[in-house]
Amino acid sequence: MLDTDFNLESADDFYEALIDAHRGLDEPQSHALNARLVLLLANHVGSLAVLREALAAARASTLGEPAPGSASEANVTAAS
């Protein structure tokens, strides 16, 4: 199950490291860095089920929709 509770150690430091990793890269290089980072973290997670949940949640968030399986989605579905 995907853990969406806040669990990031030193969030500000991570954000700064992420921005620093992108510093000086052009747009294609920045996209490539993001893709490689996603694949490295996906390998670390390892569970296809969890990764699918993460993909669905990230896509829904990008589109401004409730995450699949969330309480918000259940409320929208019930109201339809």
Task: Give the containing element (helix H, strand E) for 53.
Answer: helix 48-62
The residue among 43, 68, 71, 47 whose CA lies nearest residue 58 is: 68
Phi, psi of 56 (to 5 degrees): -65, -40
CA distance linking residue 55 with residue 45, whole number of Å:
13
pLDDT for 72? 54
pLDDT digits (tens, 9 = 90+) for 4-23: 999 999 999 999 999 999 99
Cβ atoms of 1 and 53 within 8 Å: the answer is: yes
Domain coordinates in residue numbering, the chain:
28-79
Its pTM stands at 0.75
